[in-house]
Amino acid sequence: MSMSATGMSDRRQVRRKRRSDRMFTALVWAVGIGCTLFTLALIAMILEKGMPGLSWSFIFGLPSEIDAGGGIGPALFNSFYILILSLAISIPLGLAAGIYLAEFAPDNKLIGFVRICVEGLASVPSLIFGLFGIALFVEGMGIGLTILGGAISLALLNLPLLTRVTEEAMRSVPPEYKQGSLALGATHTQTIFKVCLPVALNGIMTGICLTAGRAFGESAVIVLVAGVSTSGIMWDFDPLSPGATLAVHLWYVQSEAIVPDAAEIASKSAAVLLIVVLLINMVLRIPLWLVDRKKQA
Amino acid sequence: MSKSISAPARQQSGGVPAGIGRRMRLRLAHRSFRILCAAAAVLVSGVLLTMLFFMFRTGVLTFQSVSLREFFLSAEWEPENDKYGALVFIAGTFMVTALTLAIAVPISILAALFLAELAPSRLARVIRPILDLLVGIPSVVYGYMGLTLLIPALRTVTGSNLGDGVLAASLVLAIMILPTITRISDDAIRTVPRKYIQGSYALGATRFQTVTGVILPAASRGIVQACILGMARAIGETMAVVMVIGNTPQLADSLLKPTSVLTSNIVMQMPNVPFDSTWNNALYMMGFLLLAISLLMIAVVRLLQKKGEN
């Protein structure tokens, strides 16, 4: 009697466990698939809203303050101009700092402190770089809201990321390669340039792409240091012009502009912004992905 | 030392002066390259220290004309009338961050479990880069989508005529930090030794029991780190929040009431404020608070990492 009763309750317990297990499995699958679909839907929605009206005259056209039909030419140009300037400053510095930490730095307290600073800098909100930029360029040097100030502030924002990526990539180079090169009589510097950097290049390029994608969409720093307006002419290479980028333009149009077609300009700008960022992110990730798949197969 | 060893070999080939010159050149190149790299490393860490010093020096000037008590405990922010109470923004930041985490953390952990444990590895390899796309979307685009899609939706769902506020900001931020928390937790779960999990299954535990009894406890440190990093991102995010929070300096007693947070207030007011005013200094003090909070969180993450190593 009692034996069969415990058997019954055991079986019931097993059944209950199995049911909760199934429910849990279903929930996890639902969340996993749901997140993926949500991401794809979000991107599709942005593109669907903005893509249909895109035209070359919009992409290269001059903006208009009052009439409908203005373009985003100068803002888009500024985006690329500021991005390239900031990368030109931050890539050499970031690479050099990363190489130092990976190759030359002695293992002591001071270097530990430098590492903490780099890690800390990577977590500083971008807005703070904007405040710093204002104090340095707008107030300190008195040059007002400029492309130059925006580019340098943005470069500071990029620095810790590039440093860390470079350090990690250099550390992942197999030590045998380095030892081989040194054994052949190469100096440490020659080894770094001829052996380590080429091997680490893949990782470094990925890091640069991620940084560039983030910098292209960054808006808080630009609003504060480069302003919300452009010089209003196309191909303006003067680094002291006001430097609103496309990301800032999107915000400005959506929240403060008075043109009648502001909503349309915003949706198209969002699509252009997203397409460029995805391209920057993907262009160098596709080869990596292929290599990864080849390794797995 | 090395010079004396290799000198005879050089002599044989008859290139003594050239050999020494080349050696000197290489050594010089190596030395200068090393110094250059060290200078760059010093510069990178110097940026943080300069920033910290500068934000503090400007921010602390606030307290020449505003008492500590007023700044931290008063909710009246009326710079026109010399009232500089930052409580609204501090409270707003904490409320938004807490709600963001409450939404994002459970979903992220389930998604990480899916990627690391349940999904076939082929499927997980496709989904991971898709989730990474979310990280790449610029924050201003998130804000724009929140403003044009989420807020109208919130208005119809709740029936109120205002949609912007803590709830809208938290939802947008939750989507933004979801991939951050998911991917780091995913990595943490994947480093749980296979034998723990197999041992659990071998004892007859179900998947649910294995997840709650073995996997999550074993990966807990990594998951906590993931959450802190996500939190740091949520606290510092500016443009996405500016577009959906409403930007009104009033304490939010409802989730749908327009309010303000530290970041949104700084970016909205900064461009219109004269540099040497108390108003400006108060904004820098708020910036210093943000900086201090984010550095504090990084310190916690490092502490957890150290503990994990021991």
Nearest-CA distance from B70 to chain A in Å?
23
- In chain A, which residue's Cα lies nearest the Cα of B239? A220
Our measurement of the distance from residue A149's CA atom to the centroid of its chain's CA atoms, rounded to an integer in Å, reads 20
Question: In chain A, count of helices (H) and strands (E)?
Answer: 13, 0
Mean pLDDT score of chain B: 86
Closest CA to A98 of A203, A4, A221: A203
Instruction: Give the length of chain A.
Output: 297
Q: Is B30 close to A187, i.e. CB distance below 8 A?
A: yes
Q: Looking at beta carbons, which residues of chain A come within 8 Å of B229?
A: 123
Q: Is A134 close to B139, i.e. CB distance below 8 A?
A: no
Whole-number Å distance between alpha carbons of A148 and A150 = 5
Q: What percent of chain A has pLDDT over 90?
A: 34
Whether the pLDDT of residue B15 is over 70: the answer is no
The answer for residues whose C-beta is within 8 angstroms of residue A160's C-beta and 6 or more apart is A118, A119, A121, A122, B44
Between A2 and A14, the higher pLDDT residue: A14
- In this prediction, residue A1 carries a pLDDT of 44
Of A134, A217, A267, the CB nearest to B140: A217
Closest CA to B112 of B202, B230, B240, B236: B230
Q: Are A32 and B123 in contact (CB under 8 A)?
A: no
Record the tokens describing residue B196, joined without a space. Answer: 């723990």
Confidence of residue A93 (pLDDT cuts 50, 70, 90): very high
Q: Looking at beta carbons, which residues of chain B come within 8 Å of A40?
A: 130
- In this prediction, residue A7 carries a pLDDT of 65
Chain A touched by B270 (CB under 8 Å): yes
Residue B120 to residues B123, B126, B193: CA-CA distances in angstroms? Answer: 5, 10, 18
List the Cα angle A65/A68/A70 in 5-degree steps: 65
Q: Is B141 close to A46, i.e. CB distance below 8 A?
A: yes
Whether the pLDDT of residue A37 is over 90: the answer is yes
DSSP B256-269: TS-B--HHHHHHHH
Amino acid (one-letter) located at A2: S
Q: Is A40 close to B147, i.e. CB distance below 8 A?
A: no
Whole-number Å distance between alpha carbons of B70 and B90 = 13
Q: What percent of chain B has pLDDT over 90?
A: 41
Whole-number Å distance between alpha carbons of A228 and A74 = 12
- Phi and psi at B170, nearest 5°, equal -65, -40
Q: Is A127 close to B143, i.e. CB distance below 8 A?
A: no
Confidence of residue B6 (pLDDT cuts 50, 70, 90): very low
Q: Is B48 close to A278, i.e. CB distance below 8 A?
A: no
- In this prediction, residue B206 carries a pLDDT of 87
- In this prediction, residue A36 carries a pLDDT of 92
Beta bridge partners of A230: A243
Q: Which residues of B, range 30-49, sit inside 8 Å of A by Cβ?
A: 30, 33-34, 36-49
Record the tokens describing residue B73, joined without a space. Answer: 């405990």
Confidence of residue A152 (pLDDT cuts 50, 70, 90): very high
- In this prediction, residue A296 carries a pLDDT of 61
Q: Is A220 close to B267, i.e. CB distance below 8 A?
A: yes
Residue B214 to residues A22, B195, B204, B207, B224: CA-CA distances in angstroms? Answer: 18, 11, 13, 10, 16
* A77-111 burial code (b ≥16 CB/10 A, e <16): bbbebbbebbbebbbebbbbbbbbbbbbbeeeeeb
Q: What is the pLDDT of residues B60-85, one digit of tens each?
A: 988 888 888 888 888 888 888 888 88
How many pairs of residues across A and B have Cβ atoms under 8 Å apart?
261
Q: Looking at beta carbons, which residues of chain B come within 8 Å of A94?
A: 40, 44
Whole-number Å distance between alpha carbons of B270 and B285 = 12
Q: Which of A28, A119, A139, A210 to mutate to test the interface with B (most CBs of B within 10 A)?
A: A28
Q: Is A135 close to B130, i.e. CB distance below 8 A?
A: no
Whether the pLDDT of residue B10 is over 50: the answer is no
Q: Is A125 close to B263, i.e. CB distance below 8 A?
A: yes
Q: What sign has the CA pseudo-torsion B9, B10, B12, B16? A: negative
Q: Looking at beta carbons, which residues of chain B come within 8 Å of A112?
A: none
Closest CA to A186 of B80, B73, B128, B29: B29
Q: Is A131 close to B182, i.e. CB distance below 8 A?
A: no
Of B34, B40, B47, the CB nearest to A121: B47
Whether the pLDDT of residue B11 is over 70: the answer is no
Q: What is the pLDDT of residues A40-84, one digit of tens each?
A: 999 999 998 888 878 888 888 787 767 777 778 888 888 999 999
ipTM for this model: 0.86
Of A139, A160, A217, the CB nearest to B139: A217
- In this prediction, residue A259 carries a pLDDT of 78
- In chain A, which residue's Cα lies nearest the Cα of B39? A97
Beta bridge partners of B259: B246
Q: Which of B135, B141, B173 to mutate to test the interface with A (most CBs of A within 10 A)?
A: B141
Q: Is A131 close to B275, i.e. CB distance below 8 A?
A: no
- In this prediction, residue B173 carries a pLDDT of 94
Whether the pLDDT of residue A34 is over 90: the answer is yes
Q: Looking at beta carbons, which residues of chain B come within 8 Å of A192?
A: 33
- In this prediction, residue B17 carries a pLDDT of 57
* Tokens 């790299």 sit on residue: B37
Q: What is the pLDDT of residues B187-203, one digit of tens each?
A: 999 999 999 999 999 99
pTM for the model stands at 0.87
Q: What sign has the CA pseudo-torsion A10, A14, A16, A20? A: positive
Whole-number Å distance between alpha carbons of A75 and A241 = 12
Whether the pLDDT of residue B219 is over 50: the answer is yes
3-state secondary structure of B21: helix
Q: Is B239 close to A274, i.e. CB distance below 8 A?
A: no
Q: Looking at beta carbons, which residues of chain A come within 8 Å of B182?
A: 35
- In this prediction, residue A166 carries a pLDDT of 93
Widest pairwise Cα distance in chain B: 93
Q: Are A133 and A152 in contact (CB under 8 A)?
A: yes
Q: Are B52 and A129 in contact (CB under 8 A)?
A: no
Whether the pLDDT of residue A148 is over 70: the answer is yes
Q: Looking at beta carbons, which residues of chain B come within 8 Å of A126?
A: 236, 238
Residue B96 to residues A270, A272, B88, B110: CA-CA distances in angstroms? Answer: 25, 30, 12, 22
3-state secondary structure of B84: strand
Q: Is B45 close to A114, i.e. CB distance below 8 A?
A: yes
List the Cα angle A46/A47/A48 in 5-degree steps: 95
Chain A touched by B153 (CB under 8 Å): no
